[in-house]
Amino acid sequence: MAELLDMISADIRYIDGLKACMNCGVCTAICPAAEFYNYDPRDVCNTLMSKDEVAIAELLKTDKIWHCGQCLSCKTRCPRGNVPGLLISLLREVSIRMGYFTESEEGRRQYAIKKTLGEHIVDSGYCVHVMHVKPHLHPEQGPVWEWYFKNSEEVADRQGGNYNKEGSGALRKISEESLKDLRKIFEVTGGKDFFEQIDRQSKKKASELKKNITDNVDDNEYFYHVYREKNETQE
């Protein structure tokens, strides 16, 4: 477990983000996420300041660390110059590295984010492209979206786009050379390892929950489970 505190205290986000918290609660008062969720950045600082490894490990297994929107309003208001938003970014990373993220509902959703936004950017160069916004995964887009999705190439080109074609313009195909560079960046910065860790831990969780997990999203039971369903939460 000392590994956990070592990992946290060596990180620049901890060194720069938590100098001395006096528990005033100003960060919580300004935090938009605290308004809507069971989330309290002051309390997160408190847990970290305690250096209680058991309490920190428990925090990493809860939904709490996934509610922050990374707006950094807390940075502008803290009288001690702390940055709870940076600490949350670090805690999310540690939760994934330690495999704790699969213990909470919001944490498990990291798998869905990796299978969609994460893989989209590595495969196509776009984290969100019209072709990725499949109507059955995005009912919030409404009935018109299904029509737009089917006709997106024609509509985009009529609006001056260059849908999935070589050259310049909106929605253009990203060149193989750029994709090669992008994948290299993912590899050397640790993004690829990070994605593999999300996959490994999610497979373990899927097996515990007796859910089928496959590379293909469309017949991946665990993907739909974490993407849509309310499952057993820690809170």
Residue number, 40 or 103, with CB nearest to ligand SF4: 40
Between the CA atoms of 191, 222, 131 and 181, what dihedral angle is there, to the nearest 10 degrees?
Answer: 10
**Contact stretch for ligand SF4 (CB under 6 A) within 67-75, 101-109, 201-209, 214-222:** 67-75
Q: How far is the CB of 83 from ligand SF4 (least distance, A)?
A: 8
Task: State which residue, 76 or 175, has the beta carbon closest to ligand SF4.
Answer: 76
Size of the site for ligand SF4 (CB under 6 A): 28
Q: Which is nearer to ligand SF4, 59 or 88 (CB)?
A: 88
CA dist 88 and 69 (Å) reads 10
Give yes or no for residue 45 binding ligand SF4 (CB under 6 A). Answer: yes
CB nearer to ligand SF4: pick between 89 and 164? 89
Show contacts with ligand SF4 in window 69-98 (CB under 6 A): 69-74, 78-80, 82, 84-85, 88
Radius of gyration of the chain (CA): 20
For ligand SF4, give the closer residue by CB, 94 or 213: 94
Would you count residue 65 as binding ligand SF4 (CB under 6 A)?
no
Instruction: Using CB under 6 A, list all residues that contact ligand SF4.
Output: 21-27, 30-33, 41-42, 45, 68-74, 78-80, 82, 84-85, 88
